[in-house]
Structure 1
C-alpha cells in the first residue's frame, strides 16, 4: 500500500490540541477529534496513525480508550486496519490514490491551526495575538469618500511592490531612525508571514542550509521547511542568539544559505539581542556567504529597558529585514513589509506578483496613516504588556511556584520551563480542563524544547486568572497521575 504520511504519537497529540476541547468520555473525545482532522483533510487519506499503546501514552489515556476510539472510526469508515500493517486513514473513495487538494504542506500541525477552527477551549492560551489598539479604529474611521476615490484613481489598483505612498513612508521612517532607505528598497506584504514565505520561495532551494534560533517563531520554521531546507538551531538566552555557537555552526563545513533571527524581540521568549551580540551576529554573517533575515515583527513591544534599533546594519547587501503592523497595531490589518537592497526587492516582488498581485490598498492607506502614531502605539503597548506580565507572573507565583522563566524584555508571552514532564502531554491534560495550551516543541526545528510552554499575557486579567487556575489544576492532575479515564466534564467541575 502506498502510504504518503506516517504520524508519530506526539505529532498526532499536537494536532489534536488544535481540534479543541470536547465533552464526554475520553474515547468519544478522541474519536471526535481524529474524525475532525480526517474530515478537514489534515490527516490525509492513507496516512498511517500511531500504534494504540504509543498514542495512549502520548495522550495520557488508557490503551482501551484508543482501541475504542479507533474502533468507532473504523465503524464510520474513516479508518482501516490490517493485522501487522497498522491503522491508516481510509482512501477518499474506493480505488482513489490522491485527493484533489493534497500538497505535502497540508499535513500536520501548523501556525494557522489555532485560528482556522475557532476557539479551541473555554480559555485559549494557545496563541499570543495582541488585541487591536483603539487608534486603529479611529484612524480607519477617518478615511472619507474622497480618500477612497483617490485610491481608485489608479484604474487597476494592482501594486505588487506596495502602495507608493506607503513605501515612501516606511522608507522615511527607517531613514529618520538612522538608516537611509529608499522606497525601492521596500516591498509591502500581506503580513510578516507572507514576507517569510516570499523569502523562502525566492532564496531557498531544497537542501539549502538555514540557521534559526531555538526557540523561534514557528511560522518561520514552517516556511523554511516547505522549501525542503536543512535547518540547524542555535540557542537563545536573555541576550539573544548565542553568537559563539553561531560561529561554530557557520564554520562547520556545511554551507548555510540563510540565518534567521529576531533581534528586536524573540518569539516566544521575549529576549532582545544585546548590542554586543548584534555586532557579533553581523560579523559572523559577513564572514560567511549567508543572507541574514532579521524579523522585527515584535518591534514596538519592548516594555523593559530601551527599545532596540530598528535594523541590524553592517552586513551590506546581505540583510533582509521583515517588518509588521500586527503586534504594534493589529493583526487584522494583514500588513507587513520587507526592507532589502533594491535588486533583492525587485526579485521578491516578482515572487509576490505571481502570488497575489498586491496587498489591499485600503489596508495600506490605513497603515500609512498609522505610521504617524507609532510612538503613541508603542507607549500604549508598553503599558498594557507590562501590566499583563505582572498579572501573569503573580498568578504563577501563587499557583505554580515551581515553574520558572527568564524575564522577557519585549513581546506578549512568557517562555516557561516545566519542573518535570513535557508540554505535549500536559497540553492534552489541559484540554480536559477547558484550557488550550501550546506545546513548546512547535517552536523548535527538532522539537527539543518540549520542557517549555508559551503563556500569553496580553489578555484581560480575569482571563489570565481563570487560565492559570485551570492550568494549576491540570498540572496537579498531570503530576499526580490518575488521568487515564477522566472526562472533560469531570475535570472542569
Structure 2
C-alpha cells in the first residue's frame, strides 16, 4: 500500500512556503516540487485530500487544486477518482516527516516561537568570553590520535559524578559522550530497533524522538499522557504485545512541562520488567525544574539491563556546545559504541574539555536557569492571557515551554502565523499519530515585549 501523507506532515515539510509577490498556487506548487526533487516526498506517496490540505495550509481549496493541477500537467502528480493524488515521479532520499524542519536559521524579521532551545547561560558567557576555557589541558591529548569514541575519560567521569549526585548511581564505564542529545537518542534507539519493529511512545512526546524512529523505520504506538504521566492501563496492553522498546520522559516532559508521579514510575518498571521490554528514557530536561530539585527518573525503578538514559548539556549551558550522553549498563554501552563508530568516530576533544570545565559550575547554571525560566513562566502566562484569554494549559513543573490548548485548529493557526512572520510549532509535530490538533507549544525564554509583538501579529491586533 502506498504511504499516505497527513496534512500536518505536509504542512511541516513545506515550511514557510508562501512568498510575497508570488501567487499562492504558484508558491505552493514550487514548494511541493522542492520536496519531490529533494526526495522528501517520494514517488508513490499519496498526498492529503485537497480539502485537508486547504484547511491545514490556511488557503482556499481552489488554491490547492490549481497547484496540484499544475504539477500533474508537468508529470509530477497523478490523480485518480477514489485513490487521491499521488506523487508520480521522484526519488526516496530520506525517511522524514518534517518534525525537525523548523530547526533552521531564522530569517530577519521573523519571531521564532517554534523551539524551546535556550540561548547560552550566563555561566557559558562568562567562561567562554574570558578566552579558550578548558583548553589548558589540551596538551595532554596532543600526543594521541584524538579519537575517543566513548568520550574523554575526564568528561565521562564528570557526567557520572553529576548523575550520582543527582541520585542516579553511575560509573564512567556506563557513560558514552555524543554530539548532542539527538545523536544520543538515535544511537540508543538504533541499538534496540530494527525496521518494522513496534515502539511504544508517549502521546505527545519529543518530536526529535519521533523523527529518529521514523528514520529507523519503526511502527509507532502512542500512549496518552495525562496529568500524572502515562496511562498505565494502556501501557500494560501495549507492552503485552512485546514492542521493541518504550520511549518516555518521566522527569520533566517535553512538550507538556509536567512530571510523572513515582507511582507511575513504579508501574512502568513493573510492566516493562514483566515483559522484558527495554526503556529509553529522555532525561534532557530533568534538571530544569521550577522548584530547584532535580526531577526523579526511572533509575531504581527499571533494571539497568533494560534502562537506557539519554541527556544533554544543551539545556543547562548552551545548545551550541553539542554535548550529549547515554547512560546504560556496560554491555549496552559497548553495543552503542560500535554503532557510533560507523556514524562518526568521536566528539571533538576541545568541546569535551569545555564541557568538563562547565560541569564544575552545574549548580550555578541550574540556579540561573531556574530563576530565568520561573520569571519567564509568569510573564509568558500574563502575555498569552492578555492577548488570548481563552487559551489554557496545565501547571508546569519545569522545562522550557508551555503546552497550550488553543481551542482551535493550531495547525491552521501556525500557517496563518507564517504570513505575519511568526514561526510556531503545532501539536501534531509532537504526536506519533499527528493528533493534538488544538495544541501549541510556546517557548518560555523570550522577552515579554518580543512575545507580545508575536501574539499581537497572530491575533491581528
What TM-score, normalized to structure 1? 0.84
1:313 positional shift: 1.5
Q: Quick one: structure 1 residues 239 and 48, their matched pair in 2 at CA, closer, same or farther if it must change by over 3 Å? A: closer
Q: Is the 8 A contact 2:180 2:312 kept in 1?
A: yes
Gaps of 5+ in 2: none
Q: Quick one: which of 426, 433, 440 aligns to 1:453?
A: 440
The SS at the match of 2:139 is helix
- Name the stretch that deviates more: 116-125 or 325-334: 116-125
Matched residues in 1 for 2:37 and 2:133: separation? Answer: 42
- Name the stretch that deviates more: 386-395 or 237-246: 237-246
The SS at the match of 1:298 is coil
- Name the stretch that deviates more: 23-32 or 275-284: 23-32
Gaps of 5+ in 1: 93-98, 475-493
The SS at the match of 1:301 is coil
Q: Is the 8 A contact 1:192 1:323 kept in 2?
A: yes
| 2:151 alignment counterpart | 162
The SS at the match of 1:114 is coil
1:351 positional shift: 0.5
Q: Quick one: which of 336, 339, 357 aligns to 1:351?
A: 339
Q: Quick one: structure 1 residues 153 and 137, their matched pair in 2 at CA, closer, same or farther if it must change by over 3 Å? A: farther
Q: Is the 8 A contact 2:39 2:93 kept in 1?
A: no
Q: Quick one: structure 1 residues 72 and 245, their matched pair in 2 at CA, closer, same or farther if it must change by over 3 Å? A: closer
| 2:426 alignment counterpart | 439
Q: Residues 368-400 of structure 1, C-alpha deviation per residue, up to 9 Å, x if partnerless? A: 111111111111111111121111111121111
1:329 positional shift: 0.9
Q: Quick one: which of 81, 84, 99 aligns to 1:110?
A: 99
The SS at the match of 1:203 is coil
Whether 1:131 and 2:119 are equivalent positions in the alignment is yes
Q: Is the 8 A contact 2:255 2:403 kept in 1?
A: yes
Q: Quick one: structure 1 residues 143 and 60, their matched pair in 2 at CA, closer, same or farther if it must change by over 3 Å? A: closer
Q: Quick one: which of 248, 256, 272 aligns to 2:243?
A: 256
Q: Quick one: structure 1 residues 372 and 21, their matched pair in 2 at CA, closer, same or farther if it must change by over 3 Å? A: farther
1:406 positional shift: 0.2
| 1:299 alignment counterpart | 286
Correspondences of 1:126-205 after superposition (within 5 Å): 126-140=114-128, 141-143=131-133, 146-154=136-144, 156-205=145-194
Correspondences of 1:52-91 after superposition (within 5 Å): 52-70=50-68, 77=74, 79-81=76-78, 91=89
Whether 1:340 and 2:337 are equivalent positions in the alignment is no
The SS at the match of 2:460 is helix
Q: Is the 8 A contact 1:21 1:436 kept in 2?
A: no
The SS at the match of 1:143 is coil
| 2:40 alignment counterpart | 42
Q: Quick one: structure 1 residues 66 and 225, their matched pair in 2 at CA, closer, same or farther if it must change by over 3 Å? A: closer
Q: Residues 290-309 of structure 1, C-alpha deviation per residue, up to 9 Å, x if partnerless? A: 11222110122111463323
Q: Is the 8 A contact 2:372 2:445 kept in 1?
A: yes
Whether 1:271 and 2:258 are equivalent positions in the alignment is yes
Q: Is the 8 A contact 1:6 1:48 kept in 2?
A: yes
1:137 positional shift: 3.6
1:29 positional shift: 3.9
Q: Quick one: which of 234, 252, 258 aligns to 1:245?
A: 234
How many aligned residue pairs are there? 456
| 2:5 alignment counterpart | 7
Matched residues in 1 for 2:45 and 2:452: separation? Answer: 40
Q: Quick one: structure 1 residues 292 and 87, their matched pair in 2 at CA, closer, same or farther if it must change by over 3 Å? A: closer
Matched residues in 2 for 1:20 and 1:393: separation? Answer: 30
1:34 positional shift: 2.8
| 2:361 alignment counterpart | 373
Matched residues in 2 for 1:146 and 1:372: separation? Answer: 15
The SS at the match of 1:377 is helix
Q: Quick one: which of 16, 19, 43 aligns to 1:19?
A: 16
Matched residues in 1 for 2:397 and 2:203: separation? Answer: 17
Whether 1:360 and 2:348 are equivalent positions in the alignment is yes
Matched residues in 2 for 1:22 and 1:215: separation? Answer: 32
The SS at the match of 1:212 is strand
Q: Residues 46-80 of structure 1, C-alpha deviation per residue, up to 9 Å, x if partnerless? A: 655445444223323223322343455568x5845
Q: Quick one: which of 294, 318, 321 aligns to 2:306?
A: 318
Q: Residues 183-223 of structure 1, C-alpha deviation per residue, up to 9 Å, x if partnerless? A: 11111111111111112211112343322111100111122
Q: Quick one: structure 1 residues 211 and 275, their matched pair in 2 at CA, closer, same or farther if it must change by over 3 Å? A: same
The SS at the match of 2:59 is coil
Q: Quick one: structure 1 residues 261 and 455, their matched pair in 2 at CA, closer, same or farther if it must change by over 3 Å? A: same
Q: Quick one: which of 238, 252, 269 aligns to 1:282?
A: 269
- Name the stretch that deviates more: 3-12 or 376-385: 3-12
Q: Quick one: structure 1 residues 90 and 260, their matched pair in 2 at CA, closer, same or farther if it must change by over 3 Å? A: closer
The SS at the match of 1:405 is coil
Matched residues in 1 for 2:51 and 2:272: separation? Answer: 46
| 1:223 alignment counterpart | 212
Q: Quick one: which of 391, 407, 427 aligns to 2:414?
A: 427
Q: Residues 109-150 of structure 1, C-alpha deviation per residue, up to 9 Å, x if partnerless? A: 132x11246449722212221111132243333437643333
